[in-house]
Amino acid sequence: MSDQFDFIIVGAGSAGCAMAYRLSEDPKNRVLVLEFGGTDAGPFIQMPAALSYPMNMSRYDWGYESEPEPHLGGRRLATPRGKVIGGSSSINGMVYVRGHACDFDTWEQMGATGWGYRHVLPYYQRMETSHGGEPGWRGNNGPLHVTRGTKWNPLFEAFKDAGEQAGYGVTRDYNGQRQEGFGDMEMTVHKGRRWSAANAYLKPALKRGNVTLIKGALVHRVTFDGLRATGVEYEAGGETKTALAAREVVLAASSINSPKILMQSGIGGGAHLAEHGIEVVADRPGVGANLQDHLELYIQQACTQPITLYKHWNPISKAVIGAQWLFFKTGLGASNQFESCAFIRSKAGVKYPDIQYHFLPFAVRYDGKAAAEGHGFQAHVGPMRSKSRGHVKLTSRDPRSKPSILFNYMSHEEDWEDFRTCIRLTREIFGQEAFAPFRGKEIQPGNHVQSDADLNDFIREHVESAYHPSGTCRMGATDDPMAVVDSQCRVIGVDGLRVADSSIFPQITNGNLNGPSIMVGEKASDHILGKDALPASNAEPWLNPHWETSQR
């Protein structure tokens, strides 16, 4: 094939893989996908239980971290982004959350016309094959398989029962009509393997013959003729090359790299570009602004029965689990171990859930680096809608240089109040009768940490990113000076260029971002192809009828 294509997609991540699949359905369309990372083959990525490995391997991760965070005592927080086929869907925790219906209605109120819940629900249904989800609300014929765990451990059930005992509702499908409540967590795992966007979308697309994938391609910039994007300049195998796009260039390079590439291409705040000697193509000060993320804490409790994953925290057990997975794709290796969860509201007057729980029958850090001594269990908990906003900026015009990332975490007093509430509500849940047969001492924060000041100290020292950066190329109205793309994902002020990934979220969604990122790729594909959007849904999501007066 020549170096001229109809469409060039930058980034083979969650949204990029979905677009490669949809744009190549018409055999006339020639699609080029440029990805800096390499193959996703091997057990570290494909085995669900090995999830802590790939995000700590420089082979698969860009290795970004934040600037010293001023409200967290100057800590730098890791900001992993997938540098591999499948992008972050190949290194994430495989948790599948669509987001709450109200998230998307909020997007629409913020200027993302046509992205309300009624508009995005049909795309979620198109992309999914749901195993065990709520009929009528879920898809059953899409590329993305979504499954539930075996609930092999009684602690998963105890967590749900404790929520009910504490007065919260139960949801049979938080991705269906009702998000609020305690329920089974869903994962992007299929037949025992990580079902990344690469497995679901890109590999089938590559079999069609009209998709070209170039690995090891570092994109320098989008090329322009006047205000029209004409292609992409990239480096591969030590050579600088140019690929031409007859129709469009689409950036799907993550909420960190998409704004970085825009700025390297002359689209961003004029003054910031001038600092780095970059000629301005379009002065869009919103590029790199509006950076959002979710933070979380691990509330850890000792377990009095030897039933947790700690019994497998040894080389022999790991080898047995690995062998069972390798030969049969079954056993503990076939789950991410996040099998129960909850979405609750922090207080009366909050319309829809603003706290998320992932429950784990093990007391360990997400990156697998530190296990608490002995048997324990933990809840990952954090607020979903912080008002804190940060930015991504260039440090140099050299495409190889890492960007400056500042989240400005915990910069609002409400963030501290929300996290203290998270800790106290979690203690109440762990204190319920359902946990009585299992409950030992509180490992973290520890019973001595009770006052607001002590809780704040614990939060400052222990809060971690949930790895959900988003919002840096915000979608909005064309007359909004801080919007970067319009409601069809077109970059405002130029032609032939779109952005479609988590960077376009006007506001971070409620929960993990892989699902919404793939949905963006699905919906953007129809816009790119000039197709009518799927017909809007008239399904009515559930809201707690007493939300104004009751917390649960």
Full set of structural domains in the chain with CATH:
4-528 (3.50.50.60)
Does residue 177 surpass a pLDDT of 90? Answer: yes
pLDDT tens digit sequence for 408-444: 999 999 999 999 999 999 999 999 999 999 999 999 9
How many Å apart are CA 100 and CA 355, to the nearest integer? Answer: 12
Task: Note the pLDDT of residue 3.
Answer: 83
Mean of pLDDT values over 38-56: 94
Residue 70 — left, alpha, or beta (φ > 0 → left; ψ -120 to 50 → alpha)? alpha
pLDDT in the model for residue 366:
66
Q: What is the mean pLDDT of residues 481-509?
A: 98
User: What is the C-alpha to C-alpha distance for residues 234 and 253, in angstroms, rounded to an integer?
Assistant: 13
Annotated binding site for FAD: 6-35, 84, 92-95, 219
pLDDT tens-digit map of 496-549: 999 999 999 999 999 999 999 999 999 999 999 999 999 999 999 999 999 999
Global confidence as pTM? 0.98
Pairing mode, strands 239-251 and 497-499: parallel
Q: What's the confidence (pLDDT) of residue 1?
A: 40
The span from the CA of 213 to the CA of 31, in Å, is 9
Q: Per-residue pLDDT for 404 more than 80?
A: yes
Q: Which residue numbers belong to the known binding site?
A: 6-35, 84, 92-95, 219
Q: Check whether the bond before 445 is cis (ω within 30° of 0).
A: yes
pLDDT at residue 146 is higher than 80: yes
pLDDT > 90 fraction of the chain, expressed in percent and rounded = 97
Q: Determine the pLDDT at residue 408.
A: 98
Tell me the mean pLDDT in the region 146-155. 96
Q: Label residues 264-288 b or e (16+ Cβ within 10 Å = b).
A: bbbbbbeebbeebebeebbbbebbb
Catalytic residue among 190, 462, 468, 546: 468
In total, the chain counts a number of residues equal to 552
Q: What is the pLDDT of residue 365?
A: 77
User: Residues 179-203: pLDDT tens digits?
Assistant: 999 999 999 999 999 999 999 999 9
Is pLDDT at 368 greater than 70 in this prediction? no
2 pLDDT higher than 60: no
State pLDDT tens for residues 289-333: 999 999 999 999 999 999 999 999 899 999 999 999 999 999 999
468 is catalytic: yes
Q: How far apart are CA 51 and CA 119, in angstroms?
A: 33
What's CA 448's distance to the chain center, in Å? 34
How large is the average pLDDT for residues 158-169?
98
Residues contacting 165, CB < 8 A, separation 6+: 432, 433, 434
372 pLDDT above the threshold of 80: no
Mean pLDDT of the chain: 97
